[in-house]
Structure formats: C-alpha cells, structure tokens
A and B are shown apart, each in its own frame.
Chain A
C-alpha cells in the first residue's frame, strides 16, 4: 500500500490542481494576514472557508482522481499487489496531497507572520487539524461513491449531493428540528446532532476556541462544558476518526468485491 501511496502522492504533488489548491490557500493566508493584520479575524474567516471548501474540494477531487486513473488502476490490478492496497494507497495519496496543500499553503504565511510567538497558535493548529480531518473524511466518502458508481456523471452527482447534504441540508434539518421541538430541553439533542456531522463538529470545535464563542451564550456554555472536558475532547476526536475509519473500511470491502 505504501508503494502505491508514494507514487500517487508523487503524481498528485506535481499536478496542476495541487498547485492551484496550494496557491489558493497561500494567497488566502497572505491576504487575510497582511492586509487585515488581525490574527483572530483571519482565523474566523479561514474557518468559514475550511468548513465549506475543504469538504467540497475533498469530494470533487477524490471522485475526479478515481475516474481519471481508472485505466491505470486496471494496470495496477494486474500487478502482484493486494486490491485493497491499491485503493487505500490511492485514497491516502489523494488525501495526503490535499492535506499538504492545505497545511503548507496556510502554514507558510502564518509562520512568516509569526504564529509561533502568538497565542493564536492553538486556534490555528486546531484549524489545520480539523481541516485535515475533513479532507480525510470527504476524500474517503468520495472514493466510496466512485467505487459504487461506474457511471462518472452519476458519481459526480452523488458526490455533490453528499457535500450539499453535509454542508447545507443537514443544518437545515437540524434547525427545523430545533425549532419544532423548542419546548423540550435541547442541549443533549444539539450536542449529538453536532457530533454526528463532521462539518458541524469542526465548526463548533473551532468556534468554541475563539472569542466569538461568547456569542453562543448559554448553549455555548453547555457545549464549552462538554468539549472542555477530557471526555468531550476524546469523544469528538473519536467521532472524527470514525468518520475516517468507516468509509475507509467501506473502500476496503468494496475494493475486494468489485469487478473491473
């Protein structure tokens, strides 16, 4: 698997899209930091970008990579390599190169800005960690979708739908149910509903670390209390890890059964 990963990674690191993605983050980081000069605000804007864009890029890029390298995958399948190794290798290749673009692209301007001497280093690290998690999660989901759909158009359609659901529709349903059941205690419900969607979980984890968390009022305090404890931290990490692990397991199982 590591061999496949290595070559997928090499291949992707040299692709135009990786550069575009990398440059986008680099530019974003520079603009936010040096034109705005406010670290805290930069982190908030980055959060907005990360929770929307990272999942989108992860899904689209994952699906695209899968379909584009289909013939090459067939060549690999004829080599003495385990099937699951090929797909897991490709998956991690894509996810890692995307994560690299994110981390290096955002990291460089922040390092030059002097993040290491700043108190925002933890907020910033959290931003990168959740960004990486989201990349891993959505690329894995993209691979699952692509493996399940021979038809490219369908695959892309489902991928977009998945992103739309996680980033928008889920919150809509969440909001509706909160308003519908407003007469009941909702703390536990909203905690669980937030935990279940990695996009929401990432958003809340970052929000709670920022000054802006004061806006969350009583509900925010409940969340803070939960995520501030070791249990909350472990649980949210486990949830994010599960979101990576379960789709990866699906990739593994689907890869073993599929015909090419």
Chain B
C-alpha cells in the first residue's frame, strides 16, 4: 500500500513541476477529456476543481496529494469493487463534495476507508453518500476540518469484520455536523481527539456504539439522535465533554444503555431525552456532573449508579414511567436529587405550591435487592415484589436514608420555560 502511495507521490510531484499554476476546472465523464477520476486528479494543478459528471466510475486508490476540490455533479458513483481504499487525501485544503462511494474492500489487516484524510488541514467532506463500506470517513492526525451532511449506510453484521462510520484519531478542531450514520460498527468514534464539535447528526442501528469517546477532551456533542444502537453512547476517560439536547432512544438489549459514563468528571448533561433504553444513563466513577433538564422516559433503569460517584446533582429532570428510576449498588449516597418530576410519585401537595409535601425516594427496594443479588431480577413483575416495594415506600428500611428528592414536582417540568 505504502509503496503505491509513494510511487504515485513521485509521479504527481513530477507532473506538478511541469504545469503552470492556475485555477482550472477539469471535467470527468464518459466522453470528456478525462474518463477516470484518477487521471483528472493526476493532471490537475493545485487549487483546481475536478468536476465529475453523473455516471459510475470503477476506481479505487484515488490519491489526492495537492489542494483540490473534487466535486460531483448529480451524484456520480465511485465503485471500489471491494478492492481496497477509495479516496485518500494527503494534502491540506482538499474538498470532497457530492459523491456516492460504494464497495470499500474489507480486510482484517488494513482499515480500508471510503474517504481517508491523513495528516492534512482545512479539509471539507460533504454531501457524500457512502454505502457497502468497511470504514466510512477516516480522519487521521488531521485538524481544522469539516465533515458535513454525509450519509453513511453500512451493512455490518459482526463487530470483528466491520468498521466505523466516522472515525477521528488524533484530530483537533473538527466539525462533524448533519451526518447520518447507519448500520456500521461505531457510528462516530473519537480517540485522542480534542475540540471536536459534533452537532445535528443521526446515528442509528449501529452494531456497537452510536458515538464513542476514548481519551478525548474538550469536545461537545449537541442535538444528535442516537437510536437503536447495540450499546448506545459511551464516553470514557475523557474530560470536559459537553452533552446537550441529544436524544438517546431505543438502545435496548441485555447490555445496552443510552449513555455510558466512565471516569468522566466536571461535565454538564442537560436537555437530553432518554427514551426506551434498557439503562438511560450508566454512571461509573464519574464525579461532579450536573444533570439538568433531561427527560427519562420508559427506560428499564433511568439512571444506574455503579462504583464511586460523588457530588453529582440531578435537578429539574423528568422521570417518566421507568421500570426503575434510580439504582444504586452501595448504601452510601453523595449525590443530590432536587426538584425533579417523578411519575411514580404518589404524594400530595396541600399548600398547592407545586412541590410535593412528602419527599420522594427514587430507589425501589427491589432495585436495591437486584443490585445486591442480581439473580433476583428473575422475580421482576411478580406480585410479591409489588407488595414489598409498596411496603418499603410506606416505611423505608433498606434503601439509603438520605437518597431522596425533598422537593418532588407535582407536574412534569417544561424545560423551555423553567430554565
């Protein structure tokens, strides 16, 4: 692979020397001067535009090593015929716009991608449609780029032989916006990538995670939809991540969750909706996080707290119709719950101030028992469990004493007016 690159590099380099510098448009089509994209790219001068017209081009290993705009007209198709990587960018100031890229080769040794950017800056990849792929868009040590409005549709079946939709590795200052990623391994994957802005994406039906952070700091993801992914969204070993206004839906399965937080400190999670997940948020060893104005709807567990989690605050959230609202695996509680709405609350409000007069205890006895002895979950929905839950609610004996919401709201919180 590398050999081919270097040969191409030498060839293109020699061409560049011969041609004068000016911004031309090179057209590619069946009857044009150039009938393949590779030819046109090779012939182009830096800052030229290669305009590819409608049609299907059976090409792979298209290497771009000079600043270029690769523009597709009416969605031309580049068919890689499962032979390997399709477009590789190794230059600053490259734009790839408006292509349908299909049939990326699958390999167990090389991570072939539909579009790869290596050690480049100021790149834009937009309006592309990627199908039948291994990796989709692979950004490698590249910064200051934009990945916008792409549609990535994989056909992943097994984790071990499938790739990620959009992968960022050692990248900085990248905007990932308005993309749709479906049915790959991880929808969007970040490793060692900082200052990444992930907005308005849809990550659906992926085998593993909809979005996956590892060792990435100072990133934000907002207004995204994560639906029906194998496990949900995982944020691990990262700092200063902003998580706002996302929707986590239908991440349903034995080991699935909407959002997994592992070793995450000092963050704010607000305005998100967690709906129909096995576990809404799974928190492990995460401290000083504020959970504000989130909706937890119809989840198995809305929030599962495991391991040491200190000084987290839950305020103004709606907990609606979850099988379990909060689950703890220790008797200690250092987290605060205040002014949330709990649909399971059955107290009263005599002074009509909108706040229930009796505190709410979000941890059910059964959820406490299940945490102690996981096998007992098999008694879920039996009459006996209903009875003991009821009696615990009336007079708590086992659940943590201070784990309560002193000011449970009587009506669901309307986040827009209450903020």
Interface residues of A (CB under 8 A from B): 44, 47-48, 51-52, 167-169, 171-172, 174-175, 178-179, 182, 186-187, 190, 194, 199-200, 203-204, 207, 211-212, 214-221, 223
Q: Secondary structure of the A side of the interface?
A: helix
Roughly how many angstroms separate A215 CA and B324 CA in the complex, as a whole number?
Answer: 10
B387 neighbours in A (Cβ, 8 Å): 168
| B160 in the interface (beta carbon within 8 A) | no
Nearest CB to that of B251 among chain A residues? A214
**Interface contact A216-B381, CB-CB below 8 Å:** no
**Interface contact B254-A221, CB-CB below 8 Å:** yes
Roughly how many angstroms separate A217 CA and B374 CA in the complex, as a whole number?
Answer: 8
Q: A178-B375, A221-B254 are in contact. Are A168 and B380 (CB under 8 A)?
A: no
Minimum Cβ distance to chain A for residue B330 (Å): 16
Q: A215-B278, A218-B254, A221-B254 are in contact. Are A179 and B376 (CB under 8 A)?
A: yes
Minimum Cβ distance to chain A for residue B249 (Å): 13
Minimum Cβ distance to chain A for residue B416 (Å): 27
**Interface contact A182-B372, CB-CB below 8 Å:** yes
**Interface contact B383-A167, CB-CB below 8 Å:** yes
A194 neighbours in B (Cβ, 8 Å): 378
**Interface contact A179-B382, CB-CB below 8 Å:** no
17 pairs of residues in contact across A and B, judged by CB atoms under 8 Å: A48-B381, A169-B384, A171-B379, A171-B385, A172-B384, A175-B379, A179-B372, A182-B375, A190-B375, A203-B381, A204-B378, A212-B300, A212-B381, A215-B278, A215-B377, A217-B254, A219-B377
**Interface contact B378-A220, CB-CB below 8 Å:** yes
Roughly how many angstroms separate A171 CA and B388 CA in the complex, as a whole number?
Answer: 11
Nearest CB to that of B385 among chain A residues? A171
Nearest CB to that of B276 among chain A residues? A211
| B323 in the interface (beta carbon within 8 A) | yes
**Interface contact B369-A179, CB-CB below 8 Å:** yes
The 3 A-B residue pairs with the shortest CB-CB distance, nearest first, are A171-B384, A215-B300, A182-B373
Interface residues of B (CB under 8 A from A): 252-254, 256, 278, 300-301, 323, 369, 372-385, 387-388
Most buried by A among B254, B375, B380, B381: B375
Minimum Cβ distance to chain B for residue A193 (Å): 9
**Interface contact B381-A47, CB-CB below 8 Å:** yes
**Interface contact A216-B369, CB-CB below 8 Å:** no
**Interface contact A220-B383, CB-CB below 8 Å:** no
Roughly how many angstroms separate A179 CA and B378 CA in the complex, as a whole number?
Answer: 13
Q: A52-B383, A168-B384, A179-B373 are in contact. Are A216 and B378 (CB under 8 A)?
A: yes
Nearest CB to that of A213 among chain B residues? B254
**Interface contact A178-B300, CB-CB below 8 Å:** no
Roughly how many angstroms separate A215 CA and B379 CA in the complex, as a whole number?
Answer: 11
Roughly how many angstroms separate A131 CA and B326 CA in the complex, as a whole number?
Answer: 33
A172 neighbours in B (Cβ, 8 Å): 384, 388
* Cross-interface CB contact of A214 among B300, B378, B381, B383, cutoff 8 Å: B300
B375 neighbours in A (Cβ, 8 Å): 178, 182, 186-187, 190, 219
**Interface contact A216-B252, CB-CB below 8 Å:** no
A179 neighbours in B (Cβ, 8 Å): 369, 372-373, 376
**Interface contact B254-A211, CB-CB below 8 Å:** no
Minimum Cβ distance to chain A for residue B178 (Å): 31
Q: Contacts A175-B379, A212-B323, A219-B377 given; 13 further ones with Cβ under 8 A? A: A51-B382, A52-B383, A168-B383, A171-B384, A171-B385, A172-B384, A179-B372, A182-B373, A203-B381, A203-B382, A212-B300, A214-B300, A218-B254
Roughly how many angstroms separate A168 CA and B385 CA in the complex, as a whole number?
Answer: 9
Q: A167-B383, A168-B387, A203-B381 are in contact. Are A211 and B252 (CB under 8 A)?
A: yes
Minimum Cβ distance to chain B for residue A258 (Å): 34
**Interface contact A214-B252, CB-CB below 8 Å:** yes
B381 neighbours in A (Cβ, 8 Å): 44, 47-48, 203, 207, 212
* Cross-interface CB contact of B379 among A174, A182, A186, A211, cutoff 8 Å: A174
Roughly how many angstroms separate A190 CA and B374 CA in the complex, as a whole number?
Answer: 11
Nearest CB to that of B252 among chain A residues? A214
Nearest CB to that of A183 among chain B residues? B373
Nearest CB to that of B387 among chain A residues? A168
Minimum Cβ distance to chain B for residue A233 (Å): 18
Roughly how many angstroms separate A91 CA and B155 CA in the complex, as a whole number?
Answer: 57
Roughly how many angstroms separate A167 CA and B254 CA in the complex, as a whole number?
Answer: 27
Roughly how many angstroms separate A245 CA and B382 CA in the complex, as a whole number?
Answer: 25
**Interface contact B374-A218, CB-CB below 8 Å:** yes
Roughly how many angstroms separate A171 CA and B389 CA in the complex, as a whole number?
Answer: 14
A214 neighbours in B (Cβ, 8 Å): 252-254, 256, 278, 300
* Cross-interface CB contact of A178 among B252, B373, B382, B383, cutoff 8 Å: B373
* Cross-interface CB contact of A216 among B377, B383, B388, cutoff 8 Å: B377
* Cross-interface CB contact of A215 among B373, B380, B383, B384, cutoff 8 Å: B380
**Interface contact B379-A220, CB-CB below 8 Å:** no
Roughly how many angstroms separate A194 CA and B375 CA in the complex, as a whole number?
Answer: 12
**Interface contact B376-A178, CB-CB below 8 Å:** yes
Roughly how many angstroms separate A218 CA and B376 CA in the complex, as a whole number?
Answer: 11
Minimum Cβ distance to chain B for residue A226 (Å): 11
Minimum Cβ distance to chain B for residue A230 (Å): 21
Minimum Cβ distance to chain B for residue A172 (Å): 5
Nearest CB to that of A170 among chain B residues? B384
A178 neighbours in B (Cβ, 8 Å): 373, 375-376
Q: A179-B372, A179-B373 are in contact. Are A207 and B380 (CB under 8 A)?
A: yes
Nearest CB to that of B366 among chain A residues? A175
A203 neighbours in B (Cβ, 8 Å): 381-382
